Amino acid sequence: MNPVLVAVLVLGGVGLVCAVLLVVASKFMAVPVDERFPKIRECLPGANCGGCGYAGCDGYANALVDGSEEKINKCVAGGAAVVEALAKATGKEAEAIEEKVAYVHCKGDCNATQKKAEYNGTKTCKASKLLFGGEGTCTFGCLGYGDCAAVCPEQAINVINGVAHVNGARCIACGQCVSVCPQKIVTLIPKAAAVKVTCSNKEKGPVVMKKCTAGCIGCGLCMRNCPAEAIKVEGFLAAIDYEKCIGCGKCREVCPKKCIL
């Protein structure tokens, strides 16, 4: 027989056998997929960014199918269009996406607070904190070496006068600065937040007064004046519950230290 023909036949045969094997296997050993899954998965953009908190779009779709995830507004990348599509696919009501933004809870810049020592080590917040909690007198506030600015993929963070500032227009709320900050003073807050606490110091009022002119002294005026009971003062520091906050701005008016903005 023609050697070319033999080669073609054998190779073709091997390919055919493999193909048949795979087809048969995928038919007989198919794992039943929930029929809602492809529908829901189709709505998602497929960017696998992880912004929803799941490992990729498949993960989020799975969670929606098996009911462990209730909310359909977690896809930040897809925006309102995806929420609408998901609402159709799941039969749930469309909710608005809560857009978030990173915020640095400290206003203790070089004018407001003083240094207790001169630090000459590695120029990162992480290293600076290891030495007596940083060079500033306040050991809760921004260290100013910009670890957050270094990890920010959008260059949305600038250190100005010793304190990091987030550019809300550029921030994509990825949360990398939140996890890298050794002081834990960066958090994600709703983009629409009317008020925010600009201090992270949990010491008693008189102690804070000595250290920083921009510090929260824990007087509790905001808590008492809040009509929605959205503010709690814990450990001499005010904290706003954004689920309850109605954005009236009362707390900003009454704060004697102007540390609610």
Partner 1 sequence: MSDGAKLLLIAFSMIFTENYVLVQFIAICPFLGVSKNFDSCIGMSGAVIFVMTLASAVTWTIYNFLLEPFGLTYLQTIVFILVIAALVQFVEIVLKKYIKPLYKALGIYLPLITTNCAVLAVTILNIDESYNFIESCVDGATAGIGFGLALILFCGVRKALERAKPPKCFEGLPITLVAAALTSMTFMGFAGIADNLFH
**Residue 246 touching partner 1 (CB under 8 A):** no
Ramachandran area for residue 234 (φ above 0: left; ψ -120 to 50: alpha; else beta): beta
The 10 Å Cβ neighbour count of residue 100 is 21
- Integer Cα distance of 251 and 259 in angstroms: 10
Minimum CB separation from partner 1 for residue 25, in Å?
Answer: 5
CB of 17 to partner 1, least distance (A): 9
The per-residue b/e assignment along 115-127, b for 16 or more CB within 10 angstroms, e otherwise, is eeeebeeeebbeb
The span of 8-16, 37-45, 95-103, 145-153 binding partner 1 (CB under 8 A) equals 8-16
CA distance 58 to 170: 28
Smallest distance from the beta carbon of 134 to partner 1, in angstroms?
Answer: 22
Among 5, 29, 96, 169, binds partner 1 (CB under 8 A): 29
User: Does residue 26 interact with partner 1 by CB under 8 A?
Assistant: yes
25 binds partner 1 (CB under 8 A): yes
| Cβ neighbours around 131 below 10 Å, total | 13
One residue of 2, 3, 120, 153 binding partner 1 per CB under 8 A? 3
Which residues have CB under 8 Å from 228's CB, separation 6+?
244, 245, 246, 248
Nearer to partner 1 among residue 56 and residue 190 (C-beta): 56
* Site residues (vs partner 1, CB under 8 A): 3, 6-7, 10-11, 14-15, 18-19, 21-22, 25-26, 29-31
